[in-house]
Amino acid sequence: MAISLSEPAARHIAACLAGRSKGEGVRVGIKTSGCSGLAYVLEFVDSIAPEDQVFESHGIKVIVDPKSLAYLDGTQMDFVKEGLNEGFKFTNPNQKGECGCGESFTV
């Protein structure tokens, strides 16, 4: 089981962590949301819980809670810039569909 980052995603997260001057890494999770059912959640982590799974990718710790890991196993996070827009893009092999706006997904 694993979650990985592309080099651009790792650079972006590293810059954000440096700007905060603290943090263990980034938590990737899911929550019930949107018209398709699930949405990705990202937050900085200052302390890792004992039940968390920790993956390291390009020097960045990616922290996942056990509930979310079942939905996120094998996911790669990328950071993309398209015109004036930029953000994280998730390539999740468990995803079976997504809503029209792209904000939520199903597994």
CATH number, residue 75: 2.60.300.12
Provide the pLDDT for residue 100: 47
The count of domains in the chain is: 1
Tokens 């990705």, located at residue: 40
The answer, as to whether pTM is greater than 0.75, is yes
User: What pLDDT, on a 0 to 100 scale, did the predictor assign at position 21?
Assistant: 84
The SS3 call for residue 49 is: coil
Residue-wise pLDDT tens digits, 8-67: 999 999 999 999 888 899 999 988 875 657 888 999 999 999 999 999 999 999 999 999
C-beta separation of 40 from 90 below 8 A: yes
Q: What is the strand order of the sheet 60-64 is part of?
A: 53-57, 60-64, 25-33, 37-45, 105-106, 97-98
Which residues form the domain of 84?
4-106
Check residues 61 and 82 and name the one with the higher pLDDT. 61
- Asked if 83 contacts 62 with a C-beta cutoff of 8 angstroms, the reply is no
Say yes or no to pLDDT of 97 above 70.
no
